[in-house]
């Protein structure tokens, strides 16, 4: 009989390894064999969980969506829409050093998947789309009619600071931009 706990652990290790390798080197250079090696899983076992590389990449996207949903649920516990939006600006700061070294894990993946044809080409937009829709709803709660534009401006500020932090290898860019965005949100509330 199959050990379900061990199987779940292997699948999760494969996804986490894929996330790491995709972040460090990109989707296309990342192979199933490299993911298996990184996860300390026999290469043949990968095919038990993922029939093709696209299936593994889709699992990575789904994992990021799940993480985004958890983060957004936590932010929704904050008192006001403005405090929730300001909290969103700080969510990337705990990985600022990693972003400065390799770029934003989510932003980089979304940009790369956008170049793919088929379902994977649309998958990246699901992650940032979820966060952008959430931000738009919070701006609406602030009574803003321009909520769609404000949500895009917020996401542009967050992802733009990640791109610049990576380009200039300077994690403090994200910290400074987060403070700027928080002041901007206060001015809109």
pLDDT at 179: 97
pLDDT tens digits, 110-128: 999 999 888 888 888 899 9
Task: Output Rg (C-alpha) for the chain, integer angstroms.
Answer: 18
CA dihedral 97, 127, 13, 93 (to 10 degrees): 20
- Half-sphere exposure of residue 79, counting CA atoms within 13 Å on the CB side? 0
- pLDDT > 90 in the chain, percent: 87
Report the 10 Å Cβ neighbour count for 52: 11
1-51 maps to CATH 1.10.10.60: yes
Whether pLDDT at 100 is above 80: yes
Per-residue confidence at 8, pLDDT binned at 50, 70, 90?
low
- pLDDT of residue 3 exceeding 60: no
Token pair, residue 130, equals 């979820």
Q: φ, ψ for residue 3 (rounded to 5)?
A: -80, 100
Class of the CATH domain delimited by 61-188? mainly alpha
**Residue 93, Ramachandran bin (φ over 0: left; ψ between -120 and 50: alpha; else beta):** alpha
pLDDT by residue (tens digit) across 41-56?
999 899 999 999 999 9
Give CA–CA dist 9/102, Å, rounded. Answer: 26
26 alpha-carbon distance from chain centroid: 14
Question: What are 139-166's pLDDT values in tens digits?
Answer: 999 999 999 999 999 999 999 999 999 9
Is 50 exceeded by the pLDDT of residue 59? yes
Domain ranges of the chain: 1-51, 61-188
Question: pTM of the prediction?
Answer: 0.90
Where does the pLDDT of residue 1 fall: very low under 50, low under 70, confident under 90, or very high at 90 and above?
A: very low
């Amino acid at each position: 009989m199959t050990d379900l706990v061990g199987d779940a652990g292997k699948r999760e290790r494969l996804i986490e390894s894929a996330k790491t390798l995709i972040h460090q080197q990109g989707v296309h250079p990342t192979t199933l064999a490299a993911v298996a090696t990184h996860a300390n899983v026999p290469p043949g076992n990968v095919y038990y969980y993922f029939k093709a590389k696209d299936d593994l990449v889709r699992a990575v996207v789904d994992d990021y969506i799940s993480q985004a949903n958890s983060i957004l649920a936590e932010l929704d516990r904050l008192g006001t829409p403005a405090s929730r939006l300001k909290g969103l600006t700080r969510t990337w700061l705990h990985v600022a050093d990693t972003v400065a070294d390799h770029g934003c894990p989510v932003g980089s993946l979304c940009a790369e998947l956008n170049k793919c044809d088929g379902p994977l080409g649309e998958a990246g937009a699901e992650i940032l789309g979820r966060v952008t829709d959430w931000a738009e709803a919070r701006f609406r709660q602030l009574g803003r009619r321009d909520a769609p534009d404000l949500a895009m401006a917020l996401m542009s500020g967050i992802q733009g600071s990640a791109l610049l932090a990576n380009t200039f290898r300077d994690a403090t860019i994200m910290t400074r931009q987060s403070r700027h965005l928080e002041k901007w949100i206060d001015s809109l509330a």
